[in-house]
């Protein structure tokens, strides 16, 4: 299976938009899985935060480093629409380019390179 890192805007000051971003990212990740890919989806990382107990705390720095580790072992990156103002996505694209990991901007583009 080709390992696909799913990148895209997630954060938003509007909690409804944040949830919409999560929904879109999870939906694309599910579609990739059903298409025969092995997606890594930062869009499901929110579950880690929901399970913290007591004084457990996951920092933004830790979760970003965790995601970047997965990007670095991925075969390619799929960037979702609406990423242009996302600092995190820009950093992910830059790191993929440093490592010569192909970056695709649509499912069609990804499928052409299967």
Tens digits of per-residue pLDDT, 43-66?
A: 999 899 999 999 999 998 999 999
Looking up tokens 């390992």, which residue turns up? 3
The pLDDT of residue 113 is 78
For the residues 73-87, what does the mean pLDDT come to? Answer: 94
Residue 40 CB coordination number (10 Å): 22
CA–CA gap between residue 102 and residue 97 (Å, rounded): 7
* CATH code assigned to 3-112: 3.40.50.10400
Residue 37 CB coordination number (10 Å): 21
The pLDDT of residue 84 is 86
How do the domains of the chain map onto residue ranges? 3-112
pLDDT over 70 percentage in the chain: 99
pLDDT in tens, 31-40: 999 999 999 9
71, 96 Cβ separation under 8 angstroms:
yes
């Amino acid at each position: 299976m080709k390992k696909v890192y799913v990148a895209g805007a997630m954060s938003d000051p509007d909690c409804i938009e944040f949830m919409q971003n999560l929904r879109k990212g999870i939906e694309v990740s599910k579609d990739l899985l059903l298409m025969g890919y092995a997606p890594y989806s930062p869009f499901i990382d929110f579950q880690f935060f929901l399970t913290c107990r007591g004084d457990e705390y996951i920092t933004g720095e830790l979760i970003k480093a965790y995601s970047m580790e997965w990007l670095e072992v991925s075969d390619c990156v799929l960037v979702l629409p609406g990423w242009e103002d996302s600092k995190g996505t820009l950093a992910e694209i830059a790191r993929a380019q440093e490592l010569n990991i192909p970056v695709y901007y649509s499912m069609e583009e990804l499928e052409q390179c299967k």
